[in-house]
Amino acid sequence: MFADLPLLPPDALLGLTKLFNEDKRAVKIDLGVGVFRTLDGRTPILESVKRAEAKLLSAQTTKVYTPPEGAPGFADAIARLLLGEGHPAVADGRVFALQTPGGCGALRVGAELLKRAGAARVVAGAPTWANHQPLLAAAGLAVEMVPYYDAKTGGLFFDDFMSAVEKLGPKDVLLLHGGCHNPTGADLSPAQIDRVIAAAERHGFAPLVDFAYHGFAADLDADAFMAREIARRLPEALITYSCSKNFGLYRERVGALFLIGETRERVAAMRSQALSLARGNYSMPPAHGGSIVAEILQSSDLAALWKREVAEMAAQIRENRRLFVRTAGEMQFGERVAAIERQNGMFSMLPLSEAQVMAMRERYGVYMANTGRINLCGVNRMNVEYLCNGLKDVLRS
């Protein structure tokens, strides 16, 4: 049966960690892995998570299955976090949320739901997260890339992007990043978000919003602007949510899929279809991580602690950006990377060719995606001069 299956190459991004670990040089830098890191290179368990986990374990009496919607309390808590208290779409019964195995699980169920609903294509700004295209394509959706990121300025080709958006129709889907764009860090402004939503109101296409870094741009409320406005103004949308970064629950695989429909009846049909798809994919999500999130968000003390921890992580990322751009300026190539300070979240793109990326790896032990995407969490005061010296050399050559 399997004799004719070809051997596939390893995932390029996941393979970076293996290459980095195999590198025996004393000085090396990992800018590839997509996790938050402290200044000393750790990805710790949040204190709020430790306390919630301890409470859960002390009270837990069974390991029976959870409902396919997820851990008790999770969906309501994550909906209040993302959409805010008293959101009109929630009050009107137009929103249903279910827990999924990570943001990828939400994207897969959402993609299959869109396919069942007859979606013609998904349009995304280029570049987008490396796993978007294969994940959506695996659900049978055609993915079309349109202009978005201007590599020369570090900003957006917004007029070109809107030109493509204005051509979308009722059976089209527009993939949007909820904030902290991966891989570029270049986000839509509130005014630009308003224009995109207005286009959806006119043309009837449905947004699919991937929200993976809530709280890592400005703050939890400001970062939720796109999601809240879409749910308020549009009759239909899907929002996927990941708890990997802002709760530090990477390996626990905690995510959510938000279904937004025009009426309660429409949402009921969407809910039934999504739960059917979940049953055919993974049956029910793992309970542990979802229970941790619910415990945190339902406790005023733990929620306050968690919000402080998210704010601290976001502040460190912003400081890493400033540090990198300032050091590059001191080495006379600051103009090449100045936009990084204006961007948001963990990721940005360096103006490097693939050959220059390989040169950074071979000469300096600096590991990043072949596209030049870097995780700013890998930059700190101990390595920034070494990193910038290498970049200056490679950019010059």
Q: What would the DSSP string read from start to end of 190-226?
A: HHHHHHHHHHHHHH--EEEEEE--TTSSS-HHHHTHH
At 29 the three-state DSSP class reads strand
Structure-token pair, residue 380:
């700190």
Compute the distance between CA of residue 17 and CA of residue 177 in angstroms, rounded to an integer: 25
- Residue 121's Cβ-count burial label (10 Å; 0-12, 13-18, 19+) is middle
Pairing mode, strands 366-367 and 29-30: parallel
Pairing mode, strands 95-101 and 121-126: unpaired
Q: Which long-range contacts (CB under 8 A, 24 or more apart) does 22-26 make?
A: 23/365, 23/367, 25/365
| Residue pair 344/185 in contact by the 8 Å Cβ criterion | yes
Q: Which alpha helices (DSSP H) does 3-64 contain, by range?
A: 12-22, 47-59
Q: What is the CA radius of gyration of the chain?
A: 21
Compute the distance between CA of residue 113 and CA of residue 277 in angstroms, rounded to an integer: 7
| Residue pair 66/284 in contact by the 8 Å Cβ criterion | yes
pLDDT the model gives residue 397? 80
Compute the distance between CA of residue 241 and CA of residue 226 in angstroms, rounded to an integer: 13
What is the DSSP secondary structure assignment for residue 372, as one 8-state letter? -
pLDDT the model gives residue 13? 83
Q: What separation in angstroms does the CA of 294 have from each of 46, 243, 256?
A: 15, 11, 12
Q: What is the mean pLDDT of each run of 10 residues along the chain (397 residues)?
A: 93 88 95 92 96 97 94 96 96 97 98 97 97 96 98 97 98 98 98 99 98 98 99 99 98 99 98 97 96 98 99 98 98 95 98 97 97 97 97 93
Q: Which domains does the chain have, with CATH numbers?
A: 12-44+314-396 (3.90.1150.10), 65-298 (3.40.640.10)
Residue 210 annotated as catalytic = yes
Among candidate residues 30, 172, 187, 210, the one labeled active-site is 210
At 234 the three-state DSSP class reads coil
Pairing mode, strands 155-156 and 149-150: antiparallel
Residue 223 annotated as catalytic = no
What is the DSSP secondary structure assignment for residue 286, as one 8-state letter? -
Compute the distance between CA of residue 10 and CA of residue 7 in angstroms, rounded to an integer: 9
Among candidate residues 172, 223, 245, 307, the one labeled active-site is 245
Residue 245 annotated as catalytic = yes
Among candidate residues 30, 129, 306, 307, the one labeled active-site is 129
